[in-house]
Amino acid sequence: MLDLKNTIVWMNDGGGPTAILALAHQTERVTGLVVGGTFGWSLKRYPGVSRTLWLVTGAVFQVINRYANLLSRSMGSSMALGTRLLSKTERRNYAEPFRDRNARSRPLKLFGSFLDPTTQQELDRALPAFHDKTVLIQFGQRDPMTSQKWPERWSEEIPRHSTYLLPGVKHFTFEDAPEVTVENFRAWWADLETNC
């Protein structure tokens, strides 16, 4: 068992709700959060997002994804990236974990679990445990979640925050604008160390 302390938890996509649920009873181990393209609350207030997740985690899409591997292909496409294209090697690296058809449904099952009413209640109970932490919020301006006001929601939930909206960037800030994403993180981390 790892006895991690003073951790910075970096969350994107399905990592947000997963980390919030996993660490809500261990927040003393967490110094701060870094979030982008993710949520940490129930999706009840976001019916459009819930409908989309319901579609892409449903049986029909799972069958299509099993044979066409659409999910891993979309991660490195213009759907997820706004300012750059991944190299052939990078695309291959994204697809590698999903080479086995049986592995392709795992992320869809994870996303489907976020629609479960019990999970949504647990998220709403868990997130306040992080209220006194600090958070670096980095979303792409062209990320569909930015139009859902998720950066603002994070800043309401965790008042000690630094927020950056990255121009031209879509969902994966660390792939679409890696230098800026890291630069923002380093500045936030330096400030965090100074004020701790």
pLDDT by position in tens, the chain (length 196): 788 899 999 999 999 999 999 999 999 999 999 999 999 999 999 999 999 999 999 999 999 989 888 888 777 666 666 667 778 898 888 888 888 998 989 999 999 999 999 999 999 999 999 999 999 999 999 999 999 999 999 999 999 999 999 999 988 888 889 999 999 999 999 999 888 6
Give the tokens for residue 18: 């997963």
Q: Where would I find the beta strands (DSSP E) of the chain?
A: 7-13, 30-38, 134-140, 160-166
Instruction: Say if CB 40 and CB 158 are below 8 A apart.
Output: no
CA distance 193 to 196: 5
CA distance 120 to 165: 27
What pLDDT was estimated at residue 76?
A: 66
Instruction: Say if CB 98 and CB 71 are below 8 A apart.
Output: yes
What pLDDT was estimated at residue 94?
A: 81
Helix axes 59-68, 106-113, angle to 10 degrees: 150
Q: What is the DSSP letter of 169?
A: -
- Hunting for tokens 């994107």 — which residue is that? 12
Question: How does strand 7-13 pair with strand 134-140?
Answer: unpaired
Sign of CA dihedral 76, 99, 182, 39: positive
What pLDDT was estimated at residue 87?
A: 84
What pLDDT was estimated at residue 14?
A: 93
What pLDDT was estimated at residue 91?
A: 81
Distance separating the N- and C-terminal Cα atoms of the chain: 27
Domains in the chain with CATH codes: 7-195 (3.40.50.1820)
What pLDDT was estimated at residue 194?
A: 86
